[in-house]
């Protein structure tokens, strides 16, 4: 069953080509949300498929459910990459790890170690998860005869640079600026067959992102917006917005990078004053258009992008 559509369609000016074509990479927004618990926007996560490989970037709330809706068994993921260790980006990881280990091939049946790449602190997190779920691991291995190899996690803590290069698919991590205490935080560039997808991760405007995003076919970028009256009186909202990129700032980034298509995800439309309410998607588009007139899409969960000589956009309702 399709989710209710909450995205603004591509505007006519600079619209991306939505005709059918051969794609080099397929990008699926599994979750476009934030820590706010919303049924229409699950936790942040992006699936990139290229060269027969399935790469997952971040693993927020509900990602295993979205993977199942997208008909991608958790046990068939090639590797998982984390941008940073905020809870909303990793809270789905135990579910992905353990449910993907279960025997049912429709959603699990992982018989090999899960490969996990992330910033400093990732190995400690994995060690703590193994301790937290030690009883589950012991019981299922004995009772359900699940292979212990499928419950292993091979962890690599990364720095800026090429972190993955296999079968023609290259993943480059680059540092971004998510605030003083959230270091390192990464964005990712994925290159395959002459085409490029760039994922910003959570960040404020940062020159390093613009440098690594040059030549991108698809730029998937975070965004945060609050109403001016609300931000003027709420210190908590001010702190949130100070860690992210406003739509006006994002527009300037898009104008400099000039991707075939810019896409919003991790969409913060925040309100700390119930009387004011949050900004709308229409407000987000209008603010972006004050600094950018090129191809733009507001992402929604399970929206898919086929990236080749052109970029095509498919809502979940259009899936076969």
pLDDT band at residue 23 under the 50/70/90 scheme:
confident
CA distance 76 to 212: 29
Domain presence at residue 44? yes
| Number of structural domains found in the chain | 1
Angstrom distance (rounded) from CA 51 to CA 218: 17
Looking at residue 236, its pLDDT comes to: 85
- Asked whether residue 302 is assigned to any structural domain, the reply reads yes
CATH at 212: 3.60.15.10
Q: Give the pLDDT confidence of 57-106 residue by residue, as tens digits.
A: 999 999 999 999 999 999 999 999 999 999 999 999 999 999 999 999 99
For the chain, list the strands marked E by DSSP: 23-31, 45-50, 53-57, 79-81, 114-118, 153-157, 161-166, 169-176, 185-192, 195-199, 218-226, 261-270, 296-298, 304-308, 311-314
Cα separation, 121 vs 318, whole angstroms? 39
Active-site pick, 58, 88, 177, 301: 88
For the entire predicted model, the pTM comes to 0.92
| Residue 5, pLDDT above cutoff 50 | no
| Domain-located, residue 77 | yes
Question: How far is it, in rounded angstroms, from Cα 82 to Cα 89?
Answer: 7
For residues 226 and 230, give the distance between their C-alpha atoms in angstroms, rounded to a whole number: 7
Judge whether 6 lies within some domain: no
What DSSP state is assigned to residue 307? E
What is the C-alpha separation between 186 and 183, in angstroms, rounded? 9
Give the structural domain span for 172: 23-306
**CA 189/CA 291 separation, integer angstroms:** 24
> pLDDT at position 320, please?
65
Is 2 within a domain? no
Tell whether 271 is covered by a domain: yes
Residue 125 lies in a domain: yes
Note the pLDDT tens digit of each residue in 234-283: 888 888 888 999 999 999 999 999 999 999 999 999 878 887 788 999 99
Longest dimension (CA), the chain: 60
Report if residue 8 sits inside a domain: no
Catalytic residue flag (residue 306) = no
User: In 10 A of CB 249, how many CB atoms?
Assistant: 18
């Amino acid at each position: 069953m399709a989710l209710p559509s909450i995205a603004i369609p591509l505007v006519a000016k600079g619209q991306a080509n939505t005709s059918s074509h051969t794609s080099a990479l397929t990008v699926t927004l599994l979750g476009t949300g934030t820590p706010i618990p919303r049924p229409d926007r699950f936790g942040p996560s992006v699936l990139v498929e290229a060269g027969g490989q399935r790469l997952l970037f971040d693993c927020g709330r509900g990602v295993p459910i979205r993977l199942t809706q997208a008909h991608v068994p958790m046990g068939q993921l090639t590797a998982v990459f984390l941008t940073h260790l905020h809870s909303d980006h990793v809270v789905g990881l135990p579910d992905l790890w353990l449910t993907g280990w279960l025997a049912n091939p429709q959603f699990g049946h992982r018989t090999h170690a899960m490969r996990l790449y992330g910033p400093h602190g990732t190995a400690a997190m994995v060690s703590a998860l193994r301790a937290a779920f030690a009883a589950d691991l012991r019981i299922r291995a004995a009772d359900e005869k699940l292979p212990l190899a499928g419950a292993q996690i091979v962890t690599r803590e990364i720095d800026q640079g090429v972190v993955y290069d296999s079968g023609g698919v290259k993943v480059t991590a680059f540092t971004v600026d998510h605030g003083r205490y959230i270091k390192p935080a990464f964005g990712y560039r994925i290159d395959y067959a002459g085409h490029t997808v760039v994922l910003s991760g959570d960040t404020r405007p940062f020159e390093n992102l613009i440098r690594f995003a040059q030549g991108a076919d698809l730029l998937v970028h975070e965004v945060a917006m609050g109403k001016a009256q609300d931000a003027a009186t709420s210190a908590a909202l001010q702190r949130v917005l100070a860690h992210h990129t406003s739509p006006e700032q994002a527009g300037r980034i898009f104008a400099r990078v000039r991707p075939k298509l810019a896409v919003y995800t991790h969409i913060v439309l925040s309100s700390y004053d119930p009387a004011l309410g949050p900004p709308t998607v229409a407000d987000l588009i209008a603010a972006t258009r004050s600094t950018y007139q090129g191809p733009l899409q507001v992402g929604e969960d399970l929206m898919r992008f086929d990236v080749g000589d052109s970029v095509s956009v498919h809502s979940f309702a259009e899936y076969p």
